[in-house]
Amino acid sequence: MTKVLQGSHFTGLLYGAGLLMLIQLAGTVGYHFIGRPNATWIDSFYMTFITIATIGFGETVDLTHHPMGRLFTVFIAVIGIGTLSYLFSTLVALLVDSDLNEGLRKNRMEKIISRLSGHYIVCGIGRVGSNVAHELAKTGRPFVVIESNRVVLDAWLEHHPHALYLHEDAADDNALHQAGVAAAAGVFAVTGDDGHNLMIALSVKLLNLKARVVVRLHDIRNEKKARRAGADEIVSPDFTGGMRIASVMVRPHVVNFMDKMLHSDEGLRVEEVTIPESIPVAKVGELLPRSKNYLLMAAHENGQWVFNPADDHAVRAGSVLVLMASPGGRGEVEKLLGIASPP
């Protein structure tokens, strides 16, 4: 959006400059005609300039011998001063949008990022990273984008002008610090280069061992290296794409259901919530009364899955509840369990 605004300001600047030159030319010709035979071209040009610029040094062209002389001056003054004011305001707007506004926006973003906690960092905003960011935004999760390619970043920002971002190398420790990695819940290393993603994973784990790191790999043979670098999860788009192709063939209704859920306007998703340490052993029905905003599907405890748990099923701290919910439903569950949502 910033580039669009700057482009419109620059176009306005060209139009204003062209109009000002046209007025200067018209005024010069007009004053030369009105002040003939004594007015020279230099006198006529100077008379036009001091009229537009409101300098007012005096009439270098005698206007008393022509009945329309002073009316012509009024016309040139009104049009010229208006054009000059428009030109000046457009120039100021262009300077503000290109420099001052960029600096203010950067400072504001840095302050917002410094206050984040439990957020996510998306390293690389290409085809995969943009889908990751879209999903985080859709489900109401705060995130920061780090992208080193300015062209790719600008293309994404045109559609997401209010996003938090850094134009940096995500493998650089300073960039990760600026993105708030110390307080982040997780990092997505999803650039198009496997080696770079491994470096990002290693850097993140050295700065925040608790942060969950998901790494994108083209070559699944690099999985062991990624694990050693600190990746908690490995995702290969090629492998995942092949699995989806097979699923579309053998279980089309399941895939269609998942697609409908992912593309719903309500942001309906399968979510997971961990029961905090502050909650003692309790029955599911007491913790989470039935609601239209969420549906409890399963509980994971002691390495075992309990599907469709009954209301009297007892759960304890550390158990993971899997539910289908909208962002509002997830927030309702977190409130019931006393979990502070990220700002």
Residue 71's pLDDT is 80
Compute the distance between CA of residue 269 and CA of residue 324 in angstroms, rounded to an integer: 6
266-336 architecture in CATH?
Answer: 2-Layer Sandwich (3.30)
pLDDT band at 4 (very low <50, low <70, confident <90, very high): very low
Residue 213 has pLDDT above 90, yes or no: yes
In 41-68, which residue ranges form alpha helices assigned H by DSSP? Answer: 41-52
Q: Where in the chain is the domain with CATH 3.30.70.1450?
A: 266-336
Q: Say if CB 342 and CB 311 are below 8 A apart.
A: no
Residue 5's pLDDT is 47
Enclosing H/E stretch for 150: helix 150-157
Query: What distances in angstroms separate CA 211 from CA 18, 125, 132, 188, one per listed residue?
Result: 57, 20, 17, 10
Q: Is 299 helix (H, G, I), strand (E, B) or coil?
A: strand
- What sign results for the dihedral spanned by CA atoms 249, 253, 258, 263? positive
pTM of full prediction above 0.85: no
41-64 confidence digits (pLDDT tens): 888 888 888 888 777 666 667 676
294 pairs with which residues across the strands? 291, 325
Q: Where in the chain is the domain with CATH 3.40.50.720?
A: 116-241
Q: Where in the chain is the domain with CATH 1.10.287.70?
A: 2-112
116-241 architecture in CATH?
Answer: 3-Layer(aba) Sandwich (3.40)
237-289 confidence digits (pLDDT tens): 877 888 888 888 888 888 787 777 766 666 678 888 888 888 888 888 888 88
2-112 architecture in CATH?
Answer: Orthogonal Bundle (1.10)
168-197 confidence digits (pLDDT tens): 999 999 999 999 999 999 999 999 999 999
14-26 confidence digits (pLDDT tens): 787 888 888 888 8
79-104 confidence digits (pLDDT tens): 888 888 887 777 777 666 655 556 66
Q: Which residue has the higher pLDDT, 217 or 264?
A: 217
Residue 24's pLDDT is 85
285-343 confidence digits (pLDDT tens): 888 888 888 888 898 988 889 998 998 898 888 899 998 888 888 888 888 888 865 55
Residue 1 has pLDDT above 70, yes or no: no
Residue 113 has pLDDT above 70, yes or no: yes
